[in-house]
Structure 1
Amino acid sequence: MTRLDDQTLTETGLAPEGRGRVLLIGCGALAREVLDLTAANGWDHLDLHCLPAILHNHPEKIPAAVEAAVTARRGDYAEVFVLYADCGTGGLLQATCARLGVGMLEGPHCYSFFEGNAVFAGRDEMTAFYLTDFLVRQFDAFVTRPLGLDRHPQLRDMYFGNYTKLVYQAQTDDPDLTEKARACAAFLKLDFERRFTGYGDLEVALKHL
């Protein structure tokens, strides 16, 4: 993924071969996947600006953070696209993007668009707890410590007592991540299921850009 200098962007707004440059404003939890996709496909007209992944734990802050990033950087690009689904904002992010005139990912959350929104919508998994590659890597930072399970393991039943299984949606075929996900399931006392989803509708959306 490359970026033209600011003067060239301001004057032309165009990438090589005449393509308009696109700014992706995304959740930091998607950074590795987006970089892998752009590198594999040669999408050098796409630039990525990531917001802190910890917003995953504070969805009420996502719309304002996205709006600030769009406002600050859209002048240098032909198009801006937001790499968030609703992600717990209760429709507020969609309303913000509509007001700003920018597109965003479809679906309720990353677990849905990684599996494919149509496939995910057909499942009845109210008692499933989901992890992606990113959340497996960052399980302690995003689950164990924020919920206090490292200090108060008895809280596990309060948080996860109504879940029956942990579903690991694997973007990559990594045996080490699979074993770590299996250990996360054991830590939470949940059954374990691995699904290789690849990049799902994230890849579809980027192809359209």
Structure 2
Amino acid sequence: MLIIACGALAREINALVAANGWQQVRLQCLPADLHNHPERIAGAVQDKLGEVGRTGERVFVAYADCGTGGRLDQVLREHGVERLPGAHCYEFYAGERVFAELAAAEPGTFYLTDFLARHFDRLVMRELGIDRHPQLASMYFGHYRRLVYLAQREDPALLQAAERAAEQLGLAFEYRHTGYGDLQVSLVRLIEGEEQCPN
């Protein structure tokens, strides 16, 4: 089985593969900075599916919709391929119900995962130009009220990085340890279900 994944999920998927001993799984990642360019995701996945279409492997795409506005689902339907549930990684990490509660309690919420906490300075501060033009922070984040860190692992360094990110953006901080959420549920269902299917 081949998993085509967002590079932002590479560490977590590799951890799940190792923890479960899934030796029949191969992982290929697309660049994590597609996170900042959702209009490019469907095309990148389409290209990758075209490359692997002749291998005969079963394929799973480890993306949610991720801001593609349904374009990713159109590509996946053409290839008969499944993806992760939900609108984005924040939803599948937190779970649909918890994420809905967080969003309803404060619509002006900016979310971090372990990956985004680790790479906040590069993906947010530098990519958006805030490091060079601090006034841009209020333009990008003026309608946000809090930052919620959805943590996959309990890591004091990442917690500190997330708290610092909230401080840099002038947002209230909230911590939620989610673990791997529906990422783990989806991969266990898919891969262990595949193992139980007759040849």
**Alignment TM-score, normalising by the size of structure 2:** 0.92
* Cα separation, 1, equivalents of 2:37 and 2:175: 27
* Cα separation, 1, equivalents of 2:27 and 2:65: 19
Shift in Å at residue 116 of structure 1? Answer: 1.0
1:86 aligns with 2:86: no
TM-align CA RMSD: 1.0
Q: Which amino acid aligns with 1:102?
A: V
Q: Cα deviations across residues 46-89 of structure 1 (Å, max 9, x unaligned)?
A: 11000000101111111111011111113224310000000000
1:144 aligns with 2:122: no
* Cα separation, 2, equivalents of 1:154 and 1:184: 16
* Cα separation, 1, equivalents of 2:110 and 2:100: 15
Which residue of the other structure, out of 26, 35, 47, is the alignment partner of 2:26? 47
Which residue of the other structure, out of 133, 146, 159, is the alignment partner of 1:178? 159
Other-structure match for 2:136: 155
1:166 aligns with 2:130: no
Which residue of the other structure, out of 42, 47, 51, is the alignment partner of 1:68? 47
1:115 aligns with 2:90: no
Q: Which amino acid aligns with 1:59?
A: P
How do 1:13-28 residues align onto structure 2 when only pairs under 5 Å count?
Answer: 22-28=1-7
* Cα separation, 1, equivalents of 2:56 and 2:83: 16
Other-structure match for 2:179: 198
Other-structure match for 1:34: 13
Q: Which amino acid aligns with 1:85?
A: A
SS in 1 for 2:50: helix
Q: Which amino acid aligns with 2:135?
A: Q
SS in 2 for 1:193: strand
SS in 2 for 1:48: strand
Q: Which amino acid aligns with 1:132?
A: T
CA contact (8 A) 1:37 1:203 kept: yes
* Cα separation, 1, equivalents of 2:37 and 2:60: 21
Q: Which amino acid aligns with 1:65?
A: A
* Cα separation, 2, equivalents of 1:116 and 1:200: 6
Other-structure match for 2:189: 208
Shift in Å at residue 121 of structure 1? Answer: 2.6
Shift in Å at residue 137 of structure 1? Answer: 0.8
Other-structure match for 1:10: none
* Cα separation, 2, equivalents of 1:120 and 1:137: 21
CA contact (8 A) 1:23 1:49 kept: yes
* Cα separation, 2, equivalents of 1:77 and 1:114: 30
* Cα separation, 2, equivalents of 1:38 and 1:190: 35
Q: Cα deviations across residues 153-203 of structure 1 (Å, max 9, x unaligned)?
A: 111111111111110010000011101110110000101111000000000
**Structure 1 stretches lacking a partner, 5+ long:** 1-21
